[in-house]
Amino acid sequence: MDLQLTGARVLVTGASKGIGLAITRAFRAEGAEVVASARRNTPELEATGATFVPADLATPDGPRRLVETALAADPRLDVLVNNAGGGNAPDEALRDPFGGDDEVWAATAELNLHAAVRATRAALPALVEARGAVVNISSVSARLAHTSPLPYSVAKAGLNAFSRGLAEKVAGSGVRINVVTPSGTRTDLLTGQDGYGARLAATLGVEHEELLRQLPKQTGLLTEQLIDPAEIARAVVLLASPTMPSAIGENWTVDGGTLKAA
């Protein structure tokens, strides 16, 4: 299937590894020109041939500066993928029913909600010119708030609301806003020795490998295995494609059956 993305110009945030890296690879495979952003480059990202632009999107002016840098090189922009997210709350936040103090809440919101709002705001004029698309990466935690630290779940729920609301407001300009919602995905966040999964295992007093073995079934993944980031990337590329003009304000779950609502 020709997704009509050859030559399209795409900006992907949080692109150095995990889902963002998979998204970058998927767009490159479709013949798109990708500007990939993260705080640091990686050999894996460099190998994709994407143009790397360093940025810290957790800062108030980071998203705007990123978009301005990307557009200074070429004013075209067909697709924006707001993938940057996560966070690094202190270990004590994992034991706190609130998920951390005000500082943790603010930092989590900056990266998981405000960065997407700011990047989209900065990119919107170029996207209107291209009649382009925005795809935001959410999390099943937005609808199953008990499955992750509360600040993260709330920020992702806010991202969902922002995405749907903005989709309504800008659809007349030809810009489509959509969301992809993954469940547990095989990324360094869960599998890395310094990631959230390892820290959660230590907090629970279980071996990291045992946590990873049990996690898919305990979180309702009917496949009983973590999701391949490439699956998330395929959903993103399809939603971004101009061959899907009626996909507006959608939230596509790629969750292995985690969410049980009909």
> Would you state the pLDDT for residue 186?
82
Q: Are residues 129 and 211 in the same domain?
A: no
Domain of residue 221: give its range. Answer: 194-226
Question: What's the total number of domains in the chain?
Answer: 2
Q: Are residues 130 and 203 in the same domain?
A: no
> How do residues 111-170 score in pLDDT, each as one tens digit?
999 999 999 999 999 999 999 999 999 999 999 988 788 999 999 999 999 999 999 999
Whether 148 is in a domain gets the answer yes
| H, E, C per residue of 15-76 | CCCHHHHHHHHHHHHCCCEEEEEECCCCHHHHCCCCEEEECCCCCCCHHHHHHHHHHHHCCC
**Whether the model pTM is above 0.95:** no
Residue 91 has pLDDT above 80, yes or no: no
Treating both helix axes as pointing N-terminal to C-terminal, what angle do 115-130 and 150-170 enclose, rounded to 10 degrees?
20
Residue 215 has pLDDT above 80, yes or no: no
> Would you state the pLDDT for residue 126?
98
Domain containing residue 120: CATH number: 3.40.50.720
Binned at pLDDT 50, 70 and 90, residue 248 comes out as very high
Q: Are residues 222 and 162 in the same domain?
A: no
Q: Are residues 29 and 144 in the same domain?
A: yes
Q: Are residues 143 and 98 in the same domain?
A: yes
Q: Are residues 37 and 167 in the same domain?
A: yes
Q: Are residues 40 and 103 in the same domain?
A: yes
**Mean pLDDT to the nearest integer, 31-40:** 97
Residue 37 has pLDDT above 70, yes or no: yes
Cα-only R_g, the chain: 18
> Would you state the pLDDT for residue 114?
98
Whether 31 is in a domain gets the answer yes
Q: Are residues 109 and 215 in the same domain?
A: no
Q: Are residues 216 and 242 in the same domain?
A: no
Q: Are residues 114 and 211 in the same domain?
A: no
Instruction: In whole angstroms, give the CA distance from residue 76 to residue 86.
Output: 29
> How do residues 95-108 score in pLDDT, each as one tens digit?
788 989 999 999 99
The gap from C-alpha 164 to its chain's centroid, in whole angstroms, comes to 16
Binned at pLDDT 50, 70 and 90, residue 201 comes out as low
Question: Catalytic amino acids?
Answer: 152
> Would you state the pLDDT for residue 47?
98
